[in-house]
């Protein structure tokens, strides 16, 4: 058995006129995340971590923002497709740990829903998923409310 680790990072700008979707959960907020997809920073960071651990590059390679056929794609679909890619390579997820970085919206009430979505989409036990939310104490773009970032790490094992 081989064990591999991958890390992922994503950031999207907060803008008017878009939904705020994080971890596959629509968060009530006056701004949303801008991007080619639904701009779910958490799922993008997780998908990148999984791709990295499996040596598959990043989600930009598999889901380029220049492809009009995937405009506004649901990031849960991106994550599910990444899971199919690692299954083809005979990998399975041991665990995922991720952090969302933003001042607002406050996410504590939504963490369990996010974890459930991630576990379902990755076909893993919910106890193998950890999601945290933190602020930057008003520093930087996240602290000024200009965007939201996420980072993730994933441990894979070969089957």
Annotated binding-site residue? 40: no
Annotated binding-site residue? 66: yes
Annotated binding-site residue? 125: no
Annotated binding-site residue? 76: no
What would you report as the CA-atom Rg of the chain, rounded to the nearest whole angstrom? 15
Residue reference for tokens 């001042």:
103
Annotated binding-site residue? 30: no
What's the rounded Cα separation, in Å, for the pair 41 and 48? 10
Annotated binding-site residue? 99: no
34 touches 71 (CB < 8 A): no
What's the rounded Cα separation, in Å, for the pair 93 and 102? 27
Annotated binding-site residue? 67: yes
Annotated binding-site residue? 62: no
Annotated binding-site residue? 64: yes
Annotated binding-site residue? 63: yes
Q: Which residues pair with 94 in a beta bridge?
A: none
Annotated binding-site residue? 145: no
Annotated binding-site residue? 141: yes
Q: Which residues pair with 11 in a beta bridge?
A: 149
Residue positions in the annotated binding site? 10-12, 36-37, 44, 58-60, 63-67, 134-137, 141, 144
| Residue stretches of the annotated binding site for a divalent metal cation | 10, 12, 44
């Amino acid at each position: 058995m081989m064990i591999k680790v991958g890390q992922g990072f994503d950031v999207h700008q907060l803008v008017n006129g878009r939904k705020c979707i994080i971890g596959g959960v629509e968060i009530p907020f006056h701004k949303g995340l801008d991007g080619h997809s639904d701009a779910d920073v958490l799922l993008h960071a997780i998908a990148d971590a999984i791709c990295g651990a499996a040596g598959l590059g990043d989600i930009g390679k598999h889901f380029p923002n220049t492809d009009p056929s995937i405009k506004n794609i649901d990031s849960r679909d991106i994550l599910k497709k990444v899971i199919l890619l690692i299954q083809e390579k005979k990998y399975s997820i041991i665990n995922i740990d991720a952090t969302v970085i933003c001042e607002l919206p406050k996410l504590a009430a939504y963490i369990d829903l996010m974890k459930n979505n991630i576990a379902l989409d990755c076909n893993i036990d919910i106890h193998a998923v950890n999601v945290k939310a933190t602020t930057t104490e008003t520093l930087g773009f996240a602290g000024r409310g200009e965007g939201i970032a996420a980072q993730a790490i994933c441990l894979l094992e070969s089957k």
